[in-house]
Structure 1
């Protein structure tokens, strides 16, 4: 018979279950991934900040996506790495800390969708209405879009976690590498029907809005490109849209995998790995994908690299 501990404020984190032989290789793999991830994302933020040529709506909106990725990885990986070095019985977390971690996890995931929706809108205006771009994408509009991209997830996730917090808890084990809403309401012995309905509705509405706006936006862009004989416009559209769609597909597939595997307890190990990869892979690929696509970023890096190399050669020769 299962032992119940009611409304305990100390929870046990199951974490990532690895064998003793593989613990340190896995630990250093995730540690190196996190360091590389932070270097690339912070590097992109600094680059956009110091180069005035990158003070454009597209890159300012991308900064928001980068900030979201940094927050999403930092709230998971450092804690996960420290837990890996502890025996399972010592992987403890307070209930309130777990709620905060779950809130950040869901805000990060939702903001990734809302930011990509807004970035798709930016590309639509730039390609379909280039003469009106500066009039539409003003500083005021960028501020409104940014507030919406962060504000909507805060409200929706706040309601999501609010429904979970109201439940009494009778278990203490978080069966996940980090805290999320599903792990929290699974601690309760009460009916979680309302939580499941709202959570499912939240997920469906988010995905339908995200996929619908992306399909609609790129359909309009494709129509403009097909009816235009402007090769320069078509080339620009192909580069920017393919980049955005690649990022969107990577993020959507990663997120969908976690949602689906949560419904199949027998695949819990795959779900845990998917949850960690969702934090690392999309955010790690974003700077690479956008960096390779952006002529301005490539130009800045090339200029900086060759300038430093030239100065080094001059110093050596002198």
Structure 2
């Protein structure tokens, strides 16, 4: 392909090799997953916004997580479903860049928001008397804004380094668009892209894993020292779900990154990436909705009012 071709040139997405009899079952399964994700996350977001009693720092973090989940999956799933049932899997370069940008922003913001949530849990469990003075609404808003700003800056540089490259190929060897798939369209030297991509990944995962490890180690140490049954139960209840979701997210993220280096497992890489997007986003509103007593009570009250009104 000529390197001077306009940016709006159409590319072909490789997608999944699916047998004809599985195309529509897979399509409707993903549609159900997406519909469930939309209903649970939007419902949780509306509930937090409309109920004044939930206008607290912890629920501001829930809103960040919910908005991020909605954004990340709306960028990925509708187009993926369209390509599953389409005979021609076409996408313009500009659309591919936008999808890659929002997808990487979703992944980066997920890590940073979960770091803030881990800090919030640490303060709530280890310094309960000082919680309201430390985790104020202003502090949480500043932390959230910082997380989004850092995500946007890091991803903008990542995608910007790729957009500058000319292109000699038109086949995107993936089921979706990400940075690696984009720079593989170029025949230029992509050393800078690889170096920055490695720096980006190491920085994000080191900060993420390090922060989670430190906060949970300190929570465990406090629980061990105090030997308070009520404190231990609170720590287990509030931290176990957060840790499980984090492990799912980071393991699928690691698998996606590693499998980009191995061409023999393309479908496994695609599945891992979709898993990274879909599973935590569907579990977040369910687990956090059940875990938080105030939120759980509000959900029950809303459901009871609906049942009574009918």
The TM-score normalised by the length of structure 1 is 0.92
Contact 2:56 2:137 in 1 (8 A): no
Deviations 1:249-270 (A, max 9, x none): 1111111111111111110011
1:301 Cα deviation after fit: 2.3
2:3 paired with 1:6? yes
Q: Which has the larger radius of gyration?
A: 1
Contact 1:175 1:183 in 2 (8 A): yes
Contact 1:111 1:153 in 2 (8 A): yes
2:46 paired with 1:49? no
Deviations 1:183-211 (A, max 9, x none): 00000111111111111111111111100
Unaligned runs of 5+ in 1: 313-318
- What is the distance in 1 between the residues matched to 2:4 and 2:185? 9
* Residue aligning to 1:62: 62
- What is the distance in 2 between the residues matched to 1:311 and 1:76? 37
The partner residue of 2:224 within 197, 207, 226 is 226
Structure 1 range deviating more: 71-80 or 268-277: 268-277
2:267 paired with 1:269? yes
- What is the distance in 2 between the residues matched to 1:252 and 1:163? 25
- What is the distance in 2 between the residues matched to 1:164 and 1:308? 51
Contact 1:6 1:171 in 2 (8 A): no
Provide the aligned C-alpha RMSD in A: 1.5
State the secondary structure of the residue aligned to 1:189: coil
2:168 paired with 1:173? no
1:123 Cα deviation after fit: 1.0
1:232 Cα deviation after fit: 2.6
1:56 Cα deviation after fit: 1.8
What pairs with 1:1-318 in structure 2 (closer than 5 Å)?
4-8=1-5, 9-87=9-87, 90-312=88-310
1:76 Cα deviation after fit: 0.7
Contact 2:60 2:141 in 1 (8 A): no
1:221 Cα deviation after fit: 1.1
Q: Which runs of 4+ in 1 moved over 4 A?
A: none
1:306 Cα deviation after fit: 3.3
Deviations 1:67-107 (A, max 9, x none): 101000000111111122211xx322111111111100100
State the secondary structure of the residue aligned to 1:21: helix
Count of aligned pairs = 307
- What is the distance in 2 between the residues matched to 1:311 and 1:174? 52
Unaligned runs of 5+ in 2: none
- What is the distance in 1 between the residues matched to 2:169 and 2:257? 22
